[in-house]
Amino acid sequence: MPTANITHLERRKIEGGVLLPMIQAFQRAIGKDRANEIAREVIVELARNGERWADNASSEGGHEAKKP
């Protein structure tokens, strides 16, 4: 299946449009504090993985680190 060429910012806007209602639903279901704690843990882990990915890509030539 072909993928659309979208910018990194456009991708983040789409993700945010999905993520926010999902977090709000979890807040209602399991409580705001616990839902936010889980979301925070996931975001931190994604950021760490992103850093590792960028570091690996840059050590292999740098050009891959620019892909979303």
Domain boundaries, the chain: 8-62
Per the document, the length of the chain is 68
Phi, then psi, of 6 in degrees rounded to 5: -125, 155
pLDDT tens column, 52-61 = 777 776 666 6
Q: Tens digits of per-residue pLDDT, 12-26?
A: 899 899 999 999 999
Q: Which of 5, 36, 3, 7 is nearest to 19 (CA)?
A: 36
Contact 21, 30 (CB under 8 A): no
pTM summary value: 0.61
